[in-house]
Structure 1
Amino acid sequence: MRQGDATRFSAGHRLAFLGFLGNLERSLLMSDPGIIQEIIQAVIDFLNSL
């Protein structure tokens, strides 16, 4: 990752990510601890897709 890449995210990317985090938080509150590893992998996949 080159220096400055993180600052080039568009406002849409930021809003999508914040929405994703909100959904993730709600999912965590309703899930058992066994699914957390799967959620962490989903977050990694999501970040890699940006």
Structure 2
Amino acid sequence: AKGPFEEVVVTDTLPLPPEKRLPKITVLTVAPLFAEAIRRIHLGLSVGEIYQVLIQ
């Protein structure tokens, strides 16, 4: 049976056990985003600029 969703996209901020990982679930990592935010905070740079790059 075809469900109402083609795909569900979630982040890896909370673990998703293997038994919950279904074919229609895509897990995206947020590690690069967090790493860049930490780097910018450490260097005293703007964290808001990260979102400007993501929007483009």
Shorter-chain TM-score above 0.5: no
What band does the TM-score fall into relative to the shorter chain?
Answer: 0.3 to 0.5
Q: Which has the higher contact order (CA 8 A, sep 6+)?
A: 1
Higher helix fraction (1 or 2): 1
Larger Rg: 2
TM-score, with structure 2 as normaliser = 0.34
TM-score, with structure 1 as normaliser = 0.36
Higher strand fraction (1 or 2): 2
